Copies of this chain bind each other. A is one copy, B any other.
Amino acid sequence: MSHARHITLPKGFLAAGVACGIKPSGKKDLAVIAGDADCNVAFVTTSNQITGAPIQYVRRTWPRCHGLARAFVINAGVSNVCTGEPGLRDAATMAKLAAKQLGTTGDKVLVASTGVIGKRLPMAHVRRGIESACQSLSQRNDADTLGAIMTTDTRPKSAVVMTTLGGKRVTIAGIVKGAGMIAPSLATMIGVITTDAAVPSALLHKALKAAVYDTFNAVTVDSDQSTSDIVAVFASGQAGNAPLKPGSSAHKKFAQALHEVCMELARGVAADGEGATRLIEIAVTGARNQRDAEVAAKSVANSPLVKTAVHGGDPNWGRIAMALGKSEAKITAETLAITIAGQKVFTRGKGCAFDEKSLSRRLKENTVTIQCNLGKGPGAYTALTCDFSKDYISINADYTT
């Protein structure tokens, strides 16, 4: 039996994924990723103003843990969102149960939940699951661990990048669950990244924030945003490199490798959006500034008319121009150029002649790139999304509570 390795490839990590009965299907639904010892940790969470109890818990305990954590407990099936004070206590209990098993304190354990909203966690099951997972931690459970955090993701998404820092080989690995959904809940993105590099938590946080900006935050499946999103990175320091110093070349190299992991995971999330049949990259350049580039790229990426056109293999640049024009980014038709799958289709206020049949074929490839040069300045940003198919409607409408 093969054991796909990713999350425990960096030195100093163990993991386990078990089925404890939260998912009615009986599938694996509880994962623990743990360091041999405390790790430097950083995380980013959703910007939605409505947040689940686990998000509130980790935000509250964070100031007490001095950038250190031992483990991450994640369950799927029930998201523990909109459950009031009892839900907050459940989140804290999850952390405490894992802490007890691992010989640490609750504030050293991060928690995350994904699944149905508005329902309490079945804590008897969760308790059994946490105990069983903590007792079976190993380097042979990576696939089970990833399976236990997935909901309707159609494929597992993991990434591994290796590099050297100060002569020492370091590994950065990540897993993510994407914008799949358990109706009647929300799409939730939960990412776990492990590394054996020695990185002070402040630098880890800076590198993660920078990496997330144009990777996970560039993904939009349907413009909706979960109440439970979290991406956390654990650094065990066991690679033996000298702890990274701010602004050093090693710091930059690490940040770049972390960015690569995040990008691979983010592309996986976009390509596996609900009902998706292909990945769409919206690359905006020439924007007045960075902010304009992001706003313009996301306006196109969120446009149902653009996403349905790509789904239908229709090189409809009118919809792209419309989606750019409705955004708050500064746009004029006269300076705008649009290229679809390498074919220039619009420039200086007018459409270009092109072979529609051949371009339509290229729109049906696995990855479609739409480039929009606004002709206004140096701002650039690439948004990641997927096409919009009838399956999106089926997944989200035809299921009734």
Contact = CB atoms under 8 A, between A and B. Distances in A.
A309 interface: yes
Contact of A323 (B83, B224, B388): B224
Q: How many copies does the complex hold?
A: 2
A184 B82 contact: no
A60 to B, nearest CB: 15
Given A118-B318, A350-B82, A393 B388 contact: yes
A321 interface: yes
Contacts of A387: 397
Interface in A375-401: 387-390, 392-394, 396-401
Interface in A299-346: 302-305, 308-309, 311-319, 321-326, 330-333, 336, 346
B309 A49 contact: no
Main SS class of interface, A: loop
Contacts of A49: 324-326, 330-332
Given A184-B309, A318-B117, A322-B225, A350 B397 contact: no
A47 B328 CA distance: 10
Given A84-B349, A314-B401, A305 B396 contact: yes
A388 B397 CA distance: 8
Contacts of A184: 309, 314, 316, 318-319
Contacts of A312: 396-400
| Contact count band on A | 35 or more
Contacts of A81: 318
A360 B398 CA distance: 12
Contacts of A324: 49-50
A185 interface: yes
B397 A224 contact: no
A122 interface: no
Contacts of A401: 314-316, 356, 360
B318 A82 contact: yes
A232 to B, nearest CB: 21
A351 interface: yes
Contacts of A398: 312
Nearest to A350: B84
A123 to B, nearest CB: 17
A153 interface: no
Interface string A224-247: 111100000000000000000000
The 3 closest A-B pairs by CB, nearest first: A50-B325, A117-B318, A312-B397
21 contacts: A48-B322, A49-B325, A49-B331, A50-B324, A50-B331, A82-B321, A82-B346, A84-B350, A117-B321, A118-B317, A118-B318, A184-B319, A186-B305, A222-B304, A223-B304, A224-B326, A226-B322, A227-B321, A312-B399, A389-B397, A392-B393
Given A184-B316, A387-B397, A390-B394, 7 more contacts: A48-B322, A48-B325, A49-B331, A82-B318, A308-B392, A311-B397, A312-B400
